[in-house]
Structure 1
């Protein structure tokens, strides 16, 4: 039996590190950040719909998506963000379902999705893992590691589900405010539990 695991966490929480650790242990990981890029490639219906909704300014001259231009619109306008999500989320869900089918009948499939809660996808998972850190740690990491201004970091965090909303959907909350070794130990214990669940 396939065990469907939802993995989420706020930007800067370390979700990608947890995803990599699970992949190393044998999970099939469906990376929603990658799916979000795939569905807006030139020729994809979602990119056509985005250009129709937001105008030619969100496209580069070669027809690819101008992410900074689109981001500048949707991260400051909740209505625009909802319109974008109405275009991209169904396309992402369809692609994820296809990849899960291709993964086969057995094993542990991790849906690595920063918007698991926002997309209403948590309810379709057997187990939900939430990577969590205090907001100030998120801000510090985004400023230090991604070169964002503090205001940009706060805007990105505010555009996502709150820590409380994610925790409410969680079966396990992974505290990633400690060291990498602590995280590795925590994920190893969780993996053992997931393996037992998938075998039962």
Structure 2
């Protein structure tokens, strides 16, 4: 039985396999709110959000009502101040959208860095963790980028070890331990019934 008031966050560094774990949850009938997809959707559809990003980054960020991903990525990678400025615009809108969705499970790569964990009260936080080289390979393959670029993205996020310390439960996605077994254990630990 689902408990309407409980909220769960799934986080972990880029390339750790969060989306795959969420896919496994969805196969069990659990809907998961994807913060990345929500941010993209809101940046496409929310004109006030687009205007704030144009004011911050410049007119080149938005062409014909579409956010230019490469311009945004270059701006984010320049320095932490830029990243924080974008987060301060986008993440409050995403948090509000999540609360309106009435979903209980949320996936966010930057749950702690963005302050999302302060905007929404989560009963439990789950970290999906994977070895560095596995993460680098996944990012390079998924995004068709160089090793150096993949490492830059990883370096821009909170260290995996810190995320693990802040989490209530860690799922190790190293290809050795069964993810399904770890999810079952997580449900037992959280007293969650589907």
- Please report the TM-score for the alignment, with normalisation by the length of structure 1: 0.86
Alignment check: 8 A CA contact 1:130 1:170 kept: yes
1:188 pairs, out of 176, 184, 191, with: 184
The reply on whether 1:141 has 2:138 as its aligned counterpart is yes
Whole-angstrom distance in 2 between the partners of 1:26 and 1:190: 16
- Which of 96, 99, 104 is the matching residue for 1:97? 99
> What secondary structure sits across from 2:32 in the alignment?
strand
Separation in structure 2 between the aligned mates of residue 144 and residue 38 of structure 1, nearest angstrom: 24
Unaligned runs of 5+ in 1: 104-108
Quick check: 9-18 or 70-79, which moved more? 70-79
Residue in structure 2 matched with residue 162 of structure 1 by the alignment: 159
CA displacement 1:161-200 (0-9 Å, x = unmatched): 1112211211111110125x71122223323444x3469x
SS in 2 for 1:131: strand
CA distance in 2, matches of 1:30, 1:132: 19
What secondary structure, in the 3-state scheme, does the structure 2 residue paired with 1:177 have?
coil
- Check the 8 A contact 2:91/2:116 in 1, yes or no: no
For the 8 Å contact 2:84–2:114, the answer to whether it is kept is no
Deviation at 1:33, TM superposition (A): 1.1
* Aligned twin of 1:28: 31
Q: CA deviation at 1:42?
A: 4.3
1:122 matches 2:122: no
C-alpha spacing 1:122/1:115, structure 2 compared with 1 (3 Å): same
Could you tell me which residue of structure 2 aligns to residue 16 of structure 1? 19
SS of equivalent residue, structure 2 residue 106: strand
Distance, in Å, in 2 between the alignment partners of 1:140 and 1:34 is 22
Hey, what's the Cα distance between the residues in 2 that align with 1:185 and 1:171? 17
Unmatched segments (≥5 aa) in structure 2 = none
RMSD between superposed Cα atoms in Å: 1.9
TM-score, length-normalised on structure 2? Answer: 0.89
Distance 2:155 2:20 in 1: 22
Q: Does 1:4 align with 2:30?
A: no
Compared CA separation, residues 43 and 186, structure 1 to 2 (3 A):
closer
Count of paired positions: 189
Kept in 2: contact 1:8–1:131 (CA 8 A): yes
Farther off after superposition, 40-49 or 125-134: 40-49
Partner of 1:75, secondary structure, is helix
Indicate the residue corresponding to 1:106 in structure 2: none
Cα distance in 2 between the residues matched to 1:36 and 1:42: 10
